[in-house]
Amino acid sequence: MPEIFIDGVAVAAKDGQTVMEAARDAGVYIPGFCWHPQLSVAGNCRLCMVEVEGETGGWMDIACNMPATRGMKVLTNSPRVRERRKVMLEMVLLNHPVDCGVCDKAGECMLQDYHYEHNGAPSVSTVPKVRATKFHDLSSRILLDNERCVLCSRCVRFTREVSRSHALGIVARGDHSLVRCDEKRSLDDDPYSDNVVDICPVGALLSRRFLYKSRVWYLQKTPSVCPGCERGCTIDLWHRKAEWRLNALDARHNTAIERVTPRENPAVNGPWICNKARDLPDLLERARAEGPMLKGRRVAMAEALAAARQLVEAARRPVALVSSWGSNEELAAAHAALAGRFRCHVKADHAPRPGERLADDLLIRPDKNPNGRRARELFGEAPPALEGADLVLAWGEGFDFADVPRGARTILLNAFLAPENGHADAFFATTLQTERAGHYTNFAGTVSAFTPICPAAPHTVDAEAVFAALAVRPRVSA
Site stretch for ligand SF4 (CB under 6 A), options 98-106, 181-189, 230-238, 295-303: 230-238
The interface mask with ligand SF4, positions 147-186, x = CB under 6 A, is --xxxxxxx-----------------------x-------
Please give the Cα distance from 223 to 261 (Å, whole number): 10
C-alpha to C-alpha distance for 315 and 388, rounded to whole angstroms: 12
Whether 9 contacts 86, CB under 8 Å: no
Identify the residue among 232, 291, 292, 438 touching ligand SF4 (CB under 6 A).
232
320 CB burial (10 A radius; 0-12, 13-18, 19+) = buried
Taking CB under 6 A as the criterion, the residue among 141, 231, 239, 374 binding ligand SF4 is 231
The correct pick among 66, 226, 338, 413 for binding ligand SF4 (CB under 6 A) is 226
User: What whole-number distance in Å separates Cα of residue 446 and Cα of residue 118?
Assistant: 42
- SS3 label, residue 31: coil
**Does residue number 64 form part of the binding site for ligand SF4 (CB under 6 A)?**
no
- Does 228 interact with ligand SF4 (rule: CB under 6 A)? yes
* Candidate segments 54-62, 231-239, 244-252, 307-315, binder of ligand SF4 by CB under 6 A: 231-239
Kindly tell me which of 32 and 384 has the beta carbon lying closer to ligand SF4.
32
Contact between 205 and ligand SF4 by CB under 6 A: the answer reads yes
Closer residue to ligand SF4 (CB): 269 or 421: 269
- In the complex, the smallest distance separating the C-beta of residue 146 from ligand SF4, rounded to whole angstroms, is 8
Nearest approach in angstroms of CB 271 to ligand SF4 is: 12
Q: Does 23 bind ligand SF4 (CB under 6 A)?
A: no
DSSP β-bridge partners for residue 321: 345, 394
Nearer to ligand SF4, 22 or 363 (CB): 363
Length of the chain: 478
CA–CA distance, 274 with 163 (Å, rounded to integer): 10
Query: Of 267-296, which residues contact ligand SF4 (CB under 6 A)?
Result: 269, 273-274, 276-277
- Hey, which residues does 293 pair with through a beta bridge? 298, 427
Task: Report how far residue 327's alpha carbon sits from residue 375's, in angstroms, rounded to the nearest whole number.
Answer: 9
Contact present, 149 and 136 (Cβ < 8 Å): no
376 and 303 Cβ atoms separated by less than 8 Å: no
What is the size of the binding site for ligand SF4 (CB under 6 A)?
27
SS3 321: strand
Give the DSSP per-residue string, 413-457: EESB--GGGGGSSEEEEBP-TTSS-EEEE-TTS-EEEE--SSPPP
Residue facing ligand SF4 at closest CB distance: 228
Identify whether the C-beta of residue 433 lies closer than 8 Å to the C-beta of residue 450. yes
96 and 150 in contact (C-beta within 8 Å)? Answer: yes
Q: How far is the CB of 162 from ligand SF4 (least distance, A)?
A: 13
| Range 337-376, binding ligand SF4 (CB under 6 A) | 363-365
Which C-beta is closer to ligand SF4: that of 209 or that of 231?
Answer: 231
20 binds ligand SF4 (CB under 6 A): no
Residue ranges that bind ligand SF4, judged by CB under 6 A: 149-155, 179, 200-202, 204-205, 226, 228-229, 231-233, 269, 273-274, 276-277, 363-365
